[in-house]
Amino acid sequence: MNIALRHLRYFLALAQHGSFTRAADAIHVTQPALSMQIRALEDIVGAQVVERTQAGVVLTPQGRALQSHAVRVLAAMTDLEQALRQPGQGGRLMLGMIPTVAPYLLPEALPILRGCEIGQDLHLREAQTDQLVEELTAGRLDAIVVATPPPDSSLEAVALFTDPFLLAGNTKRIAGLDAGAIQPRSLDPGQLLLLDEGHCLGDQALEVCGFGRRSSRLDLGAASLATLCRLAAQDMGLTFLPEIARRQELAAAPGLATIRFPGPQPSRQVMLMRRATTAGDGWFQELAQILSTAAAPLLTDGPA
């Protein structure tokens, strides 16, 4: 059989409206054109699918069987068309984000995204940088938010915002520090709490301080920034806190305080990354603008 989608659409319109006149009006064709397509459909299937009665059009047994299949076929085609659309045009957007950004940026970004077409079918994935890059390269993600540059030319990135590092610790300990003199390289590695291996924030903090991962005096192993902040609040040591996380972590960890390093402040560059071969069609730039706008209220030049 060589049934066209057009035949199925015309047939379902006729089945729904029970009248050639009303069905033709509903799908914006002439009644003769609709009649011709239904006759062509009946020739293809080799059976009458509708009966023309004085009360209107009714389906034959073959027509009822065809109706159930036609509904499924057209629904599947709608799903296929949806899947092939670009984000921002009704298509699905698969977005990945690192754990030291996602809990803080998403609460600000999601209300904006929900109001835009680009966010109507948004799927989020939170994972460490290496995993996100792997999934982006493999095509399982469309874009990722990370804080490290693209590993090679197959990926492209646009900067979203600069996220300064603050020093966080117990309120009394932070109050005893000289805000004008404290420098990352002057910190005691034995007092520094860092995320475990695989988190780019831990590696960036080590680079800022000039320490190595293998230093036996470093306290490594925490799996989340929230855990570090709670340890620091209990005066278990000091940690680096991205400014984007400051508001939420101070509210969640009583006893935690932060202090700002004197300029030039250590920081990380948060960026939105995609495959270089991916067609942007405006959605990538729109997403970058939304994420940058959402981050703005979390970044301040005021006192830490």
Q: How confident is the model at residue 122 (pLDDT cuts 50, 70, 90)?
A: confident
**193 close to 231: Cβ distance less than 8 angstroms:** yes
Each as own residue / partner, the long-range contacts of residues 204-211 (CB below 8 Å, 24 or more positions apart, any chain) are 204/147, 204/165, 204/240, 204/268, 205/165, 205/239, 205/240, 208/165, 208/184, 208/240, 208/266, 209/184, 209/185, 210/184, 210/185
Helix/strand/coil for 287: helix
- CA separation for the pair 22, 31 (Å, rounded): 9
Across-strand partners of 17? none
Q: Which of 41, 58, 84 is the last residue of a domain?
A: 84
Listed range (75-79, 100-104, 133-137) with the worst mean pLDDT: 75-79
Tell me how many domains the chain contains: 2
In terms of domains, do 218 and 76 share one? Answer: no
* CB-CB contact of 238 with 153 (8 Å): no
Cβ-based neighbour number of residue 255 at 10 Å:
16
Verdict on whether the full-model pTM lies above 0.85: no
Q: What is the CATH number of the domain that holds 227?
A: 3.40.190.290
Q: Are 169 and 267 members of one domain?
A: yes
Question: Range of 19's domain?
Answer: 5-84
Answer yes or no: do 38 and 173 share one domain. Answer: no
Instruction: Report the pLDDT value the prediction gives residue 90, as an integer from 0 to 100.
Output: 54
| Ramachandran quadrant class, 141 (left: phi over 0; alpha: psi -120 to 50; beta: rest) | beta
Residue-wise pLDDT for 211-234, tens only, equals 655 544 445 567 788 988 999 999
Residue 241: Cβ within 10 Å count: 27
Residue 116 confidence class, pLDDT cut points 50, 70, 90:
confident
With a pLDDT cut of 90, the percent of the chain lying above it is 51
**Long-range contacts formed by 147-151: CB under 8 A, 24+ apart:** 147/98, 147/100, 147/101, 147/200, 147/201, 147/204, 147/268, 147/269, 147/270, 147/271, 148/200, 149/271, 150/273
Judgement on whether residues 179 and 213 belong to the same structural domain of the protein: yes
CA distance 248 to 226: 9
pLDDT given for residue 217 in this prediction: 45
Q: Tell me the C-alpha to C-alpha distance, in Å, between residue 225 and each of 188, 244, 263.
A: 20, 12, 24
Beta bridge partners of 192: 238
- Ranges of beta strands (E only) in 121-243 are 122-126, 143-146, 155-170, 192-195, 219-222, 238-242
- 121 in the same domain as 237: yes
* One domain for residues 172 and 295: yes
Residue 32, domain CATH:
1.10.10.10
